[in-house]
Copies of this chain bind each other. A is one copy, B any other.
Amino acid sequence: MTQPIYVLNGPNLNLLGTREPEIYGADTLDDIKARMEAASPSRPIEFRQTNSEGELVDWVQEASSATDILILNAGAYTHTSVALHDALRSCDARIIEVHISNPAAREAFRHTNYVSPCAAATIAGFGPQGYLMALEAALQMKD
């Protein structure tokens, strides 16, 4: 049976497309989900967003047994969550980290990163396109 590809989004990403579109673009998370589904005809996309650190940890644990590919944009929890770090360390899926903008070019408190040490690879600054790049790269590696 075909495993879905997990795409998990952290806090405030539900605002995407509705706030500062000149910076972040006009794509909403739904748009991104649709584009990913179109780009992955053979495998379903399990696409979710939450503002809760605990729920994000729950989902990463779930992904560990449900998929071999986890695309993760953890938003602000990237910079503060050791709990997420621990969940990712125990996760068997290949983890690809995505960021809409480039955290390295922002405030100092965004330079702490608890996701990258657990991720195989990172894509940052490509806007919504970064999700599709992650998907394509993951499919090439895995399929």
Is A4's beta carbon under 8 Å from chain B?
Answer: no
Residue from the list B14, B61, B114 in contact with A61, Cβ < 8 A:
B14
Q: Is the interface of A mostly helix, strand, loop or mixed?
A: helix
Interface size on A, residues (CB 8 A): 53
Question: Given the complex, which residues of B lie within 8 Å of A20, measured CB to CB?
Answer: 90
B-chain residues with CB within 8 Å of residue A133 when the two chains form the complex = 123, 133, 136-137
Asked whether any CB of chain B lies closer than 8 Å to the CB of A110, the reply is: yes
Contact flags A102-143 to B (C-beta < 8 A → 1, else 0): 101100011101101111111111100110010011001000
Q: Are A10 and B123 in contact (CB under 8 A)?
A: no
Residue A76 is within 8 A (CB to CB) of chain B in the complex: yes
Kindly identify which residue among B55, B61, B109, B129 contacts A52, using a CB–CB cutoff of 8 Å: B55
**Contact between B121 and A83, CB atoms less than 8 A apart:** no
A17 contacts chain B at the CB level, 8 A cutoff: no
Q: A52-B54, A53-B52, A137-B126 are in contact. Are A61 and B120 (CB under 8 A)?
A: no
Give the docked Cα–Cα distance between A104 and B22 (Å): 28
Tell me which of B57, B80, B82 contacts A51 (CB under 8 A): B57
In the complex, chain B residues whose CB is within 8 Å of the CB of A104: 113, 116-117, 122
Q: Interface on A for B, CB 8 Å cutoff?
A: 10-12, 14-15, 19-20, 50-55, 57-58, 61, 75-77, 79-83, 85-87, 90, 102, 104-105, 109-111, 113-114, 116-126, 129-130, 133, 136-137, 140
